[in-house]
Amino acid sequence: MRKIHKKLSYLLLTALLLCLMVGTSAAASLNYDRTCTFYLEGTGKYAKGTGIIGAFEDGSGTPSIVRTSLKSSAPSVAALKYLRSETFGGESREYRIGLTLKKPGTTKVTFQSGKKTCTSTVKVLSYKNPLSVVKLSGVKSGTNPNLTGLLKNKNYATVKMSSTQKKAVLTLKAAPGWTITYVSYENPKRGLHYFIAEETTSDTFTLGYFPTGSNAKLRIVMRNNANFGTIDCLYTIK
């Protein structure tokens, strides 16, 4: 009788452990952006943009989010563009839900993760020029060395360097309420590509030798201090 009892106890314990193991492997922990704020990339005919809702799933080897489950309550504000995912270590998965921004407003993006319905509130705001000073040696907008006026209606501009600079200097200053979070500089003519990832409201960078005709790219990422929305400011230097 004692042997039978021990055997039953062993079988029950084994069954319990198997249930726990199955439950643990099947359960996936999903974290995602529940609120997002995006800015349009310009005004008037330039009033458009893109945004990404991020999600991270831990403990699932197969995707639990499918494209057909994605819905935007106001597609005239932000329409769904794509769903991309990438697996790390065979278990964790990162999702990127791409949006096409169309006009200021609010929409709710919903999607299914397994049997769970997830909702992300997306706010789209009008474009603002987040910079008060952008100066680069050898470059002017007309007679004005401050290039921020070129970003009045859109977040990008093309400028021309008047002469090759032996020691080009870049000076940046954020507009009130904004922070500079990232600066990247790429000059294919010199084989240079580097970035500065340090938050500041103003700074000066030495870019060194800067030849004309470089078709260099300057990217300045700005973040609003109140709503944490970001705007990428892009300059192409000919």
Closest CA to 189 of 135, 140, 237: 237
Tens-place pLDDT, residues 154-209: 999 999 999 999 999 999 999 999 999 999 999 998 888 888 888 999 999 999 99
**In which band, very low, low, confident or very high, does the pLDDT at 60 lie, cut at 50, 70 and 90?**
low
Tens-place pLDDT, residues 72-104: 999 999 999 999 999 887 778 999 999 999 999
Tens-place pLDDT, residues 4-51: 334 434 443 444 343 334 333 344 689 999 999 999 999 999 999 999
pLDDT-wise least confident of 64-68, 133-137, 215-219: 64-68
**In which band, very low, low, confident or very high, does the pLDDT at 64 lie, cut at 50, 70 and 90?**
confident
Task: Tally Cβ neighbours within 10 Å of residue 161.
Answer: 20
* CA atoms 207, 202, 182, 77: torsion sign: negative
Q: What is the mean pLDDT of residues 201-222?
A: 94
CA 47 from chain centre, in angstroms, equals 18
Closest CA to 57 of 123, 108, 118, 122: 118
Give the rounded percent of residues in the chain with a pLDDT score beyond 90: 74
- The pLDDT score that the predictor gives to residue 189 is 87
**In which band, very low, low, confident or very high, does the pLDDT at 69 lie, cut at 50, 70 and 90?**
very high
Tens-place pLDDT, residues 119-161: 999 999 999 999 999 999 999 999 999 999 999 999 999 999 9
- The pLDDT score that the predictor gives to residue 92 is 86
Pair type for strands 230-237 and 156-159: parallel
Give the rounded percent of residues in the chain with a pLDDT score beyond 70: 87
- The pLDDT score that the predictor gives to residue 231 is 98
Residue count of the chain, please give it: 238
